Structure formats: C-alpha cells, structure tokens
Chain A
Amino acid sequence: MQYEAPETLAAAVELLAGTSGQARILAGGTDLLVQLHADMTDPDLLVDIKKIQELREITNVDGRFTIGAAITGAELGEHPDVKKIWPGVVEGLELIGSTQVQGRATIGGNLCNASPAADVVPALIAADAIVHVAGPAGRRQIAVEEFAIGPGKTSLAKDEIVVSLSFPPRGERASDAYLRFIPRTEMDIAVVGCGISLERDAHGICTQARVALGAVAARALLVPAAAAAIIGTSLDAAALDNLAAAASTACSPIDDKRGTIEFRTDVAGVLARRVAKIAYDRAG
C-alpha cells in the first residue's frame, strides 16, 4: 500500500485518476482504519486529504457557510458562528463517537461512509446542504439527499473527492435541530435519527421546513410530506400529529438487533415531533 498526502486538490485527483489499483481516501480514518485492521479493505493507494487547505476551512460569505470536508466534529463544535446558525448540523456531527473520535472524524467522512444511520446526514439534508465534488473533469455539485445511493455506496466516481458542503443563507427566524434514539446515553449508532430545519414568520407561523430521517431506510431520507404537515402552522397539536404520521409513513426500515421495523416506524414519528419543537423554539 502506497500512502500519499498531496497539498492540492489537483494533485489528489491526479493520484486517484492515475492509479490502476484500488484507492481509498483518508480523512479522519475513524472508519477506514477499522476496515483496514479488519481486512475489510486492502487498497493499493491511500490518499490523505488533510493537507489540502480548501478541505480544512470554514468560510462564511454573506451568510453562506461552506464547511471543508476534512473539518472534524471537535473543530465544528468550537466554531461559534456555525453553531449559532446551524445548531442541528453541529449537534448531528458532535453525536458521533467519543471525545477521541470527535478529534478525528470529519463531516465529509460521515457523508462518504454512507451509513443509513450516519448522524450528520439527516441534519445536512434538512439544512439543504450542497456537496461540492472535484474530479478530473472539474467540479460538480450534488444535493446532499442524492449523495448516498445505498448502504456504504455513494454517487462519487472512483476519482472524485468531496471538497466541501455549502449551506443556503438563513433568515432571521430560522433554525434546525437533530435528535437520534439510542438505547444508551452516548457512543452508539442511531436506531432512528431525525433532522428538521425550519423558518417561522413574525406571527410564529412556520413558512419553510425540511424534514429528514436516518436509519429508517437504505439511505437517509428527505420527507417532503412531513414538511408539508407543519408549513403554514404554528406547530399546534394537529400539525404535530400530521408530522408524526407523515414521518412514520415514510419509513421502510429493517429489523435488526438495535430495533424492529415496528419500533423504528413509531420512533420516527416521536422524534419528528420533538425535533420540530426544538427547531421551532430555537428559531423564535
């Protein structure tokens, strides 16, 4: 196995495009090193992307945040502006693993690992984030909900790299939240995750919303019907009932040791109610 740590995106893309063998990208390594250790992957080339400046930056241009793919959970959590505007995205990333894992695990890595239970992904989908990708043909953008195509599978070509995630500008009365259900209090994998981003007007009416669910299908889902249930309401009891019903209806989960189909379907609705209320209160 060859290890390379290029300092430019062009050099990284060239390395990936130029190899005839299997290549893997190394960011935080919290998934990849476990796979290497378990002989689940045996790449010929490892491309460490952490020396590429653009992947290590958080920028804010006129209220549009861009977060480099190699930003870690600990770094994002320490950024005061992102936490203020996108608290749901920050709490999604910060829920991943222990303090030690937070020091390494990256936002781009959680996305590219493509676990249906990835914690930051529902928050990113709710936030309407755009994935910026670089490859031999140049740059392209992917809506974050289209990025994963199944468990462990992404829409990236083998010589493409996730550069960053960008976020739309926010109104005054807008916020987001993410919650997951786990049977412990920390360091576990989501049985169900839910991210909601919304905006309300001066009268407390929800004018925009995006609802996303994790761990209830082969990939994290955007659920427009759940958003429609709360848009135009002040999150009254009937709206929350409709939200919960729409969230549960969208689920097509598996049965496994962490939760049954019936449990996951029910919990998706419960979490959607709670998350909507948190996001609504934060937005006010």
Chain B
Amino acid sequence: MSKYHVTTTVNNDEFEFLCEPTQTMLDVLRDELNLTGSKEGCATGDCGACSVVMDGRLVCSCLVLGVEMEGKSIETIEGMADGDDLHPLQQKFLDHAALQCGICTPGVLVSAKALLEKNPDPTETEVRYWLAGNLCRCTGYDKIIRAVMDAAKEMRAA
C-alpha cells in the first residue's frame, strides 16, 4: 500500500508526515506525531475522547482520515495550556475535581473550549447538550458541568 504525504498544522506548528489511507487522524496524532493527549475510547465517534478542532469545527479525530488533514489547521489538547499556565478550563477542572480516571478529560476540555469560543455565556442546558458527545464513566457529569460553568464565568470577567 502506498503512503500519502501530508502537510498540516497542529497547534500552530507545521507538520509533515507519511500515512496509510486507512489511518485515522487519531492514529496519526498519536502514532506519527507523538501527540498522545487525544485518547481512543470507542473509535466509532460515540465517546468524544479523541475530540479535536479542525478548521474551527469540533470533530472526533477517529472519524477523520489522516490524509484529510492536508492543508488543515488542527487544535488538540496539547495546545490548550500556555506553557506552564493552564487554560482556565483546565484549572477549574482541578478546582472542581471534575475528573477521576482522566481518559475522557482531554476530549471534554477541547469540546468545552470550542463551546465557550462560540458561546461565552452558555446555560447549563446548553453545556449539557454540547457535551453530550463526550462520555465520562466516572464523574456522573455534574462536576464537569459545574467546572465549565465556573470557567465560563471567570473567562467572561477577564
């Protein structure tokens, strides 16, 4: 099987890689670019653990092919903190203990950031619907929702 040469931007850095046409973006991020923050939960687009933003759209990276990354701009969890300075959402997740095992957390954070960029003042219902594609088997969701609402409040005041 011949490989495809792809040039893409991830977290504002340009990357070039070779990939098989059957590899997903998630495979490429984790196995070719060593960006292992995005997790594989289901590989069928149900759980959201692999959520990334591609050209401004929240997507499951397991449902995008690596070859489709050509010319695109991708944002992953690795681009969220500014060096040692956590994003307000990340800090609020710590403050509210909004995680236990942590597998879903990168996807939840990427999704929540995408929401707050589109809607800085969401209602609790809007947060719950937006995050319906991010499954968490530990928290029961309540702490996640509280952390996102609190982060949104802090970000509006900043």
Mark A residues whose CB is within 8 Å of B.
Answer: 1-3, 5, 26, 28-30, 33-34, 36-38, 46, 48, 50, 72, 74, 97-101, 103-104, 186-187
Contact = CB atoms under 8 A, between A and B. Distances in A.
Question: Nearest 4 pairs between A and B by C-beta?
Answer: A98-B133, A103-B57, A3-B21, A100-B60
B68 A48 contact: yes
B21 A1 contact: yes
Contacts of B58: 99-100, 103
B4 A97 contact: no
B111 A34 contact: no
A186 B45 contact: no
15 contacts: A1-B21, A2-B21, A3-B67, A30-B63, A33-B64, A37-B62, A72-B57, A98-B45, A99-B114, A99-B130, A100-B45, A101-B63, A101-B133, A104-B59, A104-B64
Interface string B50-72: 01001001111011110110100
Contacts of B43: 37
A97 B21 contact: no
Nearest to B59: A103
Nearest to A3: B21
A101 B63 CA distance: 9
Given A1-B22, A98-B48, A34 B132 contact: no
B44 A37 contact: yes
B23 to A, nearest CB: 10
A263 B154 CA distance: 48
Nearest to B133: A98
A2 B44 CA distance: 22
Contact of A33 (B62, B114, B132, B133): B62
A30 B22 CA distance: 14
Contact of B132 (A29, A37, A98, A103): A98
Contacts of A187: 132-133
A48 B21 CA distance: 12
A198 B24 CA distance: 43
Given A26-B65, A33-B63, A36-B22, A97 B133 contact: yes
B1 interface: yes
Contact of A100 (B1, B4, B59): B59
Question: Which residue, of B24, B63, B111, has the highest number of chain A Cβ atoms within 10 A?
Answer: B63
A1 B60 CA distance: 22
A99 B21 contact: no
B51 to A, nearest CB: 6
Nearest to A34: B44
A29 B21 CA distance: 13
Nearest to A2: B21
Given A46-B21, A100-B51, A186 B132 contact: yes
A214 B94 CA distance: 45
B62 A186 contact: no
A186 to B, nearest CB: 5
Contacts of A101: 45, 60, 63, 133
A72 B70 CA distance: 19
Given A97-B133, A99-B131, A100-B63, 6 more contacts: A5-B67, A28-B63, A34-B45, A37-B24, A98-B132, A99-B114
